[in-house]
Amino acid sequence: MLEIIDIYKTFNKGTVNEKVALNGVSLKLNDGDFCTVIGGNGAGKSTMLNAVAGVWPVDSGAILIDGENVSALPEHKRAPYLGRVFQDPRMGTVADMEIIENLAIAARRGDRRGLSWGVKKSEREAYREMLARFDLGLEDRMSTKVGLLSGGQRQAITLLMATIKKPKVLLLDEHTAALDPKTAVKVLELSDEIIEENHLTALMVTHNMKDAITHGNRLIMMSDGKIILDISGEDKKALTVDGLLKKFEEASGSKLENDRMLLAD
């Protein structure tokens, strides 16, 4: 479903701030794979997701979605294939538009935006049902401006927006990192449900090793812009935090440098 072939990306090339962010990353996700991504600070996790999303062009390599080469497509033209949820809950929604308007914008991802109504009457009922499932009381506040909601509520809406039109690949970029622990658990549960129900292919970056182990059917670990571990199937199910740390040290020859990650559990 998603195929990343040997991609490289260097930021600020030729300056003192030069940073090799992706150093030959290759990854193939099969249809329905739910892959978690962990790694130290600056390992290239978010950079890899941004490369897939087309935030900027990669230096070399190719990205294929469902067999189609999307490497040359700018961000908004790649959007039809992708659902994205960001770390900052404010980033995925428009604060001064209503909940229902936000959902309607997402429901038209990849469509030509013409002169028919931005929100049709018939959509309202469908959105109400979708929101009711979240059990956050949002279905009765559909005309509320999103800016008035909490971070968790906004993230739940972003998650719904990312999947309201089934994406080929769902990209979750530390989407629970900015939430309080209780809300984070709730949003993660929602993510699991939605991914399973719609049989989505997903990449989820997290700094929480436990979450990385308990969610998804596959786990990759990144270091210095490369994938250094790729665990799936029964190995993934048997994984523990200690085992994972040991594997990391073996694979990278160094201790894991991610203060947030070690504190996370």
Q: Which two tokens stand for residue 10?
A: 């260097």
- Phi/psi of residue 83, nearest 5 degrees: -110, 135
Cα distance between the two ends of the chain: 32
Please pick, from the candidates 4, 65, 104, 219, the single residue that binds other proteins as defined by CB under 8 A.
Answer: 104
Instruction: Annotate each residue in 135-174 with x if it binds other proteins (CB under 8 A) or - if it does not, as one string.
Output: --------------------------x-------------
For residue 110, the minimal CB distance to other proteins (Å) is 5
Which strands make up the sheet holding 60-65, listed edge to edge? 19-29, 2-11, 60-65, 68-69
Quick check: 61 and 47 in contact, CB under 8 A? no
Of 34 and 86, the one with the shorter C-beta distance to other proteins is: 86
Considering only the stretches 14-22, 80-88, 181-189, 247-255, report the one whose residues sit in contact with other proteins under the rule CB under 8 A: 80-88
Mapped onto helix, strand or coil, the DSSP state of residue 243 is helix
Residue 76 interacts with other proteins (CB under 8 A): yes or no: yes
User: Residue type at 58?
Assistant: V
Question: What CA–CA distance (Å, rounded) separates 212 from 260?
Answer: 14
Question: What CA–CA distance (Å, rounded) separates 35 from 33?
Answer: 6
Q: Which two tokens stand for residue 166?
A: 């089934």
Residue 178 interacts with other proteins (CB under 8 A): yes or no: no
Residue 114 interacts with other proteins (CB under 8 A): yes or no: yes
Residue 103 interacts with other proteins (CB under 8 A): yes or no: no
Residue 117 interacts with other proteins (CB under 8 A): yes or no: yes
Of 144 and 217, the one with the shorter C-beta distance to other proteins is: 144
Please pick, from the candidates 92, 152, 216, 225, the single residue that binds other proteins as defined by CB under 8 A.
Answer: 92
- Phi/psi of residue 51, nearest 5 degrees: -65, -45
Q: Which residues bind other proteins (CB under 8 A)?
A: 53, 75-77, 79-80, 82, 84, 86, 90-97, 101, 104-106, 108-111, 113-119, 161
